[in-house]
Amino acid sequence: MNQAEDQTSPEVANLSPARRAVPRRTFLCRMGVGAIALAPGAALFTSASKAFGDEDENENENENGITAGDAALLRFPAALEIIEADFWIQYNELGGIQDSEVPGGSGIAKYTAAIEVLDEDMAVYIHDNTDDEITHHQFLNAYLVSKGAAPANLNPFRTLMGSTATGVNPNKIGKRLTNLTQLTLDTSWWTRYRDSAHNPDLDPNHIFPQAVPSLHTGKHTAIPRTDSDLTDDNFVQAMANTAAFHFPTIEQGGNSLYPSLAQRASSVEVLRILISIGPTETMHFQTWQDKAGNAPPLTAVDPVTGVSVTFPHLDVANELFTNNLIMPEPCPFLSRGLPRCSIIRPTKTQGVAMGALKFLTDMGLFIGQSPAFFSYMTRLAQEADAARRED
């Protein structure tokens, strides 16, 4: 298993971490996670917490721990970041840059070329986004352990097949968390951010149109499943286009999740973590929605499933769809009696974690996962949603 993964050794019954080897790149994170299962390692928590910013002596916080609610607010995002890292690693193996930061895989020339139709620097962007998500889950888990709280652990669920095409990391085949070959993408975020009259926080029943309606029906692969998927250049570009819209579809979720959860944090430091990681997700989203707008118009039929996908021409006059309006349009915020404001949306906190989990599940990202996986993720989401800010 390479150093880019979450390497907490699992016990499937209770997901409690156990002793395992300590990779160089994530020494603090691994040291803490291992210590949680060993009583003699408990002393590490206090000293480790000093490495994570406990320098403000006047804060009314317990420096040796955090509330159960704050731990839940970090544990659910940690699990989502592990999930994100898993599928970004798959994209990087096939179309990114494989190096010491994000090792594994060797790329597929045809797929990489199709990805680069959107931007010549796509391989760099995929690599850097992958690296970011890895550091996010490593940091969040290490911080939780430094405070004596349990980390998120998804290793028992690394059971999905993934691609077997030439270029993937052969050591990861059958050990994925996520499924990139049967995606159903909700691309309504495209028009939501271009709509100046509606905000899902104020208009929960408003239906924002899909940018790519055919991606919202059927199941589409964003990566080559096998080498046979590479024979039709038009279909290869359709896979690359699907990936191009999957990237921002995922990142806009974190874009809203972090500020929504931050409103419930009791600890100033936990608040600081959430509002510091959140803007990174926004930077990802801003980059990827720009690149998605470069997806060439085409229609392709999946040679395996027979499912058709059509990518429309988005360089149009209609401001809800035009591809160069990538700054969020000002919209109603808090009250329609106030001036419109350019904001992240939605940011209401009710049921946000369960909503995020449902969004990812409906996407097809977890097709093939076990009931135990859904039970674990549901518990983390419910705990995050139950967290309340303590004065």
**Per-residue pLDDT tens digits for 7-28:** 433 333 333 333 233 333 333 3
pLDDT of residue 224: 98
What does the pLDDT look like over 170-205, one tens digit per residue?
999 999 999 999 999 999 999 999 999 999 999 999
Residue 42 domain flag = yes
- CA–CA separation, 332 and 122 (whole Å): 34
Number of Cβ within a 10 Å radius of residue 207: 9
pLDDT of residue 67: 97
Residue 306 domain flag = yes
**Does the structure show a pLDDT above 80 at 142?**
yes
Q: Chain-centre distance of CA 266, in angstroms? A: 24
Residue 287 domain flag = yes
What total number of domains does the chain contain?
A: 1
| Percentage of the chain modeled with pLDDT above 90 | 82
- CA–CA separation, 280 and 301 (whole Å): 35
| Percentage of the chain modeled with pLDDT above 70 | 84
What does the pLDDT look like over 101-135, one tens digit per residue?
999 999 999 999 999 999 999 999 999 999 999 99
- For range 356-369, the mean pLDDT: 98
Backbone torsion region of residue 279, taken as left when φ is above 0, otherwise alpha when ψ lies between -120 and 50, otherwise beta: alpha
pLDDT of residue 61: 45
- For range 131-148, the mean pLDDT: 98
pLDDT of residue 305: 97
More confident residue, 26 or 74: 74
The boundaries of the domain holding residue 348 are: 27-386
What's the number of CA atoms in the CB half-sphere (13 Å) around residue 332? Answer: 12
Residue 65's pLDDT band (cuts 50, 70, 90): confident
Residue 10 domain flag = no
Residue 9 domain flag = no
- For range 58-77, the mean pLDDT: 79
Whole-model pTM: value is: 0.85
Residue 129 domain flag = yes
More confident residue, 48 or 193: 193
pLDDT of residue 391: 76
Residue 240 domain flag = yes
